[in-house]
Each structure stands twice: as structure tokens, then as C-alpha cells.
Amino acid sequence: MSYEPPPSQRDAAPPPTAPAQYSPDGRWYWDGQQWRPVGAPRPAWARPFAPSDGRSTTAVVFVIVASAAQPLFFLGYLLVATAAVGGTGSSVRVAGALVLGLGELIYVIGLVGAAIAVPMWMHRAFSNLPVLGAQGLRWSPGWAAGGWFIPFANFVIPYLVLRELRSSSGASASGLGTGAWWALWIAGGVLTAAASPFTRSDPTTASLLGLVYTPVYFVAGILFINIVREITSQQRARFAQLGA
């Protein structure tokens, strides 16, 4: 691969017979034939580029399954709350319980699968960053995967890793999608925790809170899917550009 220095250095490029030397800014090295970039040492965990498309597809599928359960939860909570508030009878309450049970089954499948697939995708995607030219990384593939499983810290570490992963992959610099996903994910967790004590003592209150946090989780899932696809696509495009 052949590199060229920035215009300020290219204009002052030595003749082909000049000895090896560094540019004044220290970012370029003349090897006697061409300028080469001087990069920072790669971290010890750096590996050759490996496409993350397969892992991203698996992660997206399981997040979709978990997100698909949220409309069922919403319908179930709506039926239970309607039966309690409107006194429409036990049949509506039973129907709500059945819908909630179906939603729970689908959600567990999606949650278990995503708990495995998402950290695996983040590990692979983060491992690709040094090859794509990212420097000064604060996190590592180990943190990208393991940060999900540290109690309490898993409310913050995945967001910080995903934000660095997204920006270092050349994706949207604003980070709005990452921040919005994190805020909704935290909000959903807080509302779920608030509803938990009322599950048996006051099903009506629990159902009303469920009508609030299920849309929150659904939107958070959609945002996360978009982020996964964006990072995977951007890494593939950047690697192809470097190879060209």
C-alpha cells in the first residue's frame, strides 16, 4: 500500500535519492522511495481484521426477538389493567395473562441469545479497530464483552465501549444514537425495577408501569439494532478502502 504525506509535507518531499528521514511533524517517514505513516504501537490484543458480519447478524436477530416481545407485553398489561380498572371480568384478565406468558417465552429466548451474541459481536468489532487505524483506545475487546456481566458497572461500561467503538469505526461522530439508546435502556431498567414490587401486591399498578416501559425497551432495541448495523457496515467499508 502506498501512502502520501499531507500537502504541506508532499510539497517538500525529498528527491528519490534522499536518505531516510522523518517529516518535521514526525508523522511521516521517508524510506528512500516513498513516504510512510508513522503509527502508534498497536495494543497487545490487536489481531488481523476479521469481518463481524456473521456475529452482527446473530446479535441483531436475537435483539429483534427480544424486542418483538415488547408489543405482546404491552397488550397483556393493557388487558390486565383494563380488567382491573373497568371491571370487565376474569376472561379479560386470563387473556392478558396468556399474552404476557407468550411474551415472556419469546423475551427469554431473545434475551438469552442476545446475552451471548451481543458481547461476541462487540469483542470481534473492537478487535478490528487497530487494523482500521484507531489509536489511543481506552477499552479493549475483553472489556467490550465482559463489561456486560459486571454487576452495576454493566449500566455504564457497555455504553462507554459502544461509544468508542462507534466513533473509532468511523460511524456517526455525534453519538446521538448511542446516547439515546443508553438513556432508554437505563430508563427501562429503572421502570422495571419500580414495577417489580407491585407484581403480586398490586397488579394494576404493575400493569400501568408496564405500559410505560415496554415502548421504552422497544425503541431502545430498534436503536441498538441500527447501531450494530452501522458499525459493522462502516468497518467493512473502511477495511475495503484501506485494501484498495
Domain count, the chain: 2
> Are 31 and 66 members of one domain?
no
Q: pLDDT at position 18, please?
A: 56
Cell triple for 11: 510539497
* 148 contacts 114 by C-beta, under 8 angstroms: no
Q: Report the alpha-carbon angle 180-225-222, nearest 5.
A: 60
Report pLDDT digits (tens) over 168-203.
Answer: 987 664 556 899 999 999 999 999 999 999 888 888
Query: Are residues 31 and 75 located together in one domain of the fold?
Result: no
Looking at residue 133, its pLDDT comes to 82
Give residue 6's pLDDT: 55
Mean pLDDT of the 94-109 span: 96
Please write the tens of the pLDDT for every residue from 15-58. 555 555 666 555 566 767 777 666 667 788 988 999 999 999 99
Q: Confirm whether 41 is domain-assigned.
A: no
- Strand-pair partners of 22: 29
In this predicted structure, what is the pLDDT of residue 135? 83
Percentage of the chain lying above the pLDDT 70 cut: 81
Torsion sign (Cα): 129, 131, 137, 139? positive
* 183 and 226 share one domain: yes
> Hey, what's the torsion of the CAs at 163, 166, 167, 171, to 10 degrees?
-140
Neighbours of 148 (CB within 10 A): 17
- Whether residue 135 is contained in a domain is answered as yes
* pLDDT of amino acid 2: 43
Do residues 238 and 230 lie in contact, with contact meaning Cβ atoms separated by under 8 Å? Answer: no
In a shared domain, residues 19 and 88:
no
Mean pLDDT over 111-138 rounds to 94
Kindly state whether residue 128 falls inside one of the protein's structural domains.
yes
For residue 36, the one-letter residue type is R
Q: Are residues 190 and 91 in the same domain?
A: yes
Length of the chain: 244
Pair (125, 199) in one structural domain: yes
Does 42 map to a domain?
A: no
> Does residue 37 sit in helix, strand or coil?
strand
Q: Find, among 163, 216, 220, 159, the residue nearest to 193 by Cα.
A: 216
In a domain, 112, yes or no: yes
Task: Evaluate whether residue 193 is within a structural domain.
Answer: yes
Is the pLDDT confidence value at 101 over 90?
Answer: yes
Percent of the chain with pLDDT over 90: 63
What is the mean predicted confidence (pLDDT) over 226-236? 94
Q: Sort 57 into a burial class: Cβ within 10 Å, 0-12 / 13-18 / 19+.
A: middle
Does 186 share its domain with 238? yes
pTM of the prediction? 0.81
Q: What is the radius of gyration, based on Cα positions, of the chain?
A: 25
pLDDT at 1: 42
| Distance separating alpha carbons of residues 244 and 242, to the nearest angstrom | 5
Q: State whether 168 and 222 are in the same domain.
A: yes
> 109 with 161, same domain?
yes
Let me know if residue 46 belongs to a domain. no
Mean pLDDT of 204-227: 95
Using the predicted structure, report yes or no on whether residue 79 has a pLDDT greater than 80: yes
Which one has a higher pLDDT value, 24 or 148? 148
pLDDT, position 33: 72
Residue position matching grid coordinates 408501569: 209
- Average pLDDT of the chain is 86
Residues 12 and 91 in one domain: no
And the C-alpha cell for 180?
439515546
Same domain, 237 and 179: yes
Asked whether residue 47 is domain-assigned, the answer is: no
Give the per-residue pLDDT at 132. 87
CA gap 62, 115 in Å, rounded:
9
pLDDT of residue 7: 53
If asked whether residues 172 and 111 sit together in one domain, one would say: yes
Which of the pair, 31 or 159, is modelled with greater confidence?
Answer: 159
- Where in the sequence is the domain holding 177, given as residue range(s)? 53-243
